[in-house]
Amino acid sequence: MAIAIEFSHIRKSYGDTVIIPDLNLQIEKGEFVTIVGSSGCGKTTALKMINGLYEPTSGDIFVNGENIKNIDMIRLRRSIGYAIQGSVLFPNMTVEENISYVPSLWNKNDKEKTKKAVDKWMEVIGLDSSMKDRYPSELSGGQQQRVGIARALAASPDILLMDEPFGAVDAITREQLQNELKSLHKKTGITILFVTHDIEEALKLGTKVLVLDKGEIEQYDKPSEIVQNPATDFVKKLVEKQRRACNLPDERLRECEYCGAYMLS
């Protein structure tokens, strides 16, 4: 399998404060990697170094085999989708203008191609076409988040970075967005890196889960392995609830969404 993203001896520090001491990781193309850990563990820092928003103190990051030090930052950022909590839409632009912002930069002489991209991603992400002329202030929190995701996808990136994108929406909307994102990943096969503080969300969404603590990898594996075979005490404590649920003996069992084992129905 080809490697989409590689961290090679990445160190990030601010003065004497070390956020990430020595990160080495390869992420294969097509993986949905959820990144979870305690506050200040380096989740967002690692994510933002991929598209050059943060610069590592030392080490190298490769995107599709190319060292990002050798890539023009504008070109790099336009080729990677980026969605964060609260969506951060342009308030003076309509839904259509927000979503078309990046593809219109690429397709200056092909407005029809841009329009098709907007229509496609609005449909995929669950936005009615009647919303095109609305402004962000006229949308609900969930709708704004969907627009933010559609905007990140409209340039058809190979990689999508997401930093706690569902943290500001209610529980029902959050579950809907999670399901839509899982479906989207299955349809497109793009590489997704998704930062979350919620272990249940990490286990539900990820094909792989990256557990960080103090900038170091505690475990990087499939959700089933994270739950069934935690590599460290930190990981074991993190998934304690899921492990208890999966190990409950009873005649009335159903398949566990976290590990494929069976739990109480």
CA 193 to each of CA 25, 27, 29: distance values in angstroms, whole numbers, following the listed order: 13, 9, 11
Helix (H, G, I), strand (E, B) or coil at 43: helix
CATH number at residue 242: 3.40.50.300
Residue 207: predicted pLDDT: 96
What's the pLDDT tens digit per position in 37-95? 988 899 999 999 999 999 999 999 999 999 999 999 988 988 899 988 766 789 999 99
Are the C-beta atoms of 157 and 191 separated by less than 8 Å?
no
Residue 264: predicted pLDDT: 47
Element (H, E) at 120: helix 111-124
Q: What is the average pLDDT value for the chain, to the nearest integer?
A: 89
Residue 202, in any domain of the structure: yes
Residue 258, in any domain of the structure: yes
Residue 53, in any domain of the structure: yes
Radius of gyration of the chain from Cα atoms? 19
Residue 64, in any domain of the structure: yes
Query: Dihedral sign, CA of 84, 122, 31, 222?
Result: positive
Residue 211, in any domain of the structure: yes
Domain of 2, in residue numbers: 1-31+43-72+191-265
Q: Which of the 8 DSSP states describes residue 236?
A: H
Neighbour count for residue 68 (Cβ, 10 Å): 20
Residue 222, in any domain of the structure: yes
Q: What is the mean pLDDT of residues 128-132?
A: 92
Element (H, E) at 84: strand 80-84
Residue 258: predicted pLDDT: 65
Residue 182, in any domain of the structure: no
Q: Within 13 A of 186's CA, how many CA atoms are on the CB side?
A: 7
Residue 26, in any domain of the structure: yes
Number of domains in the chain: 1
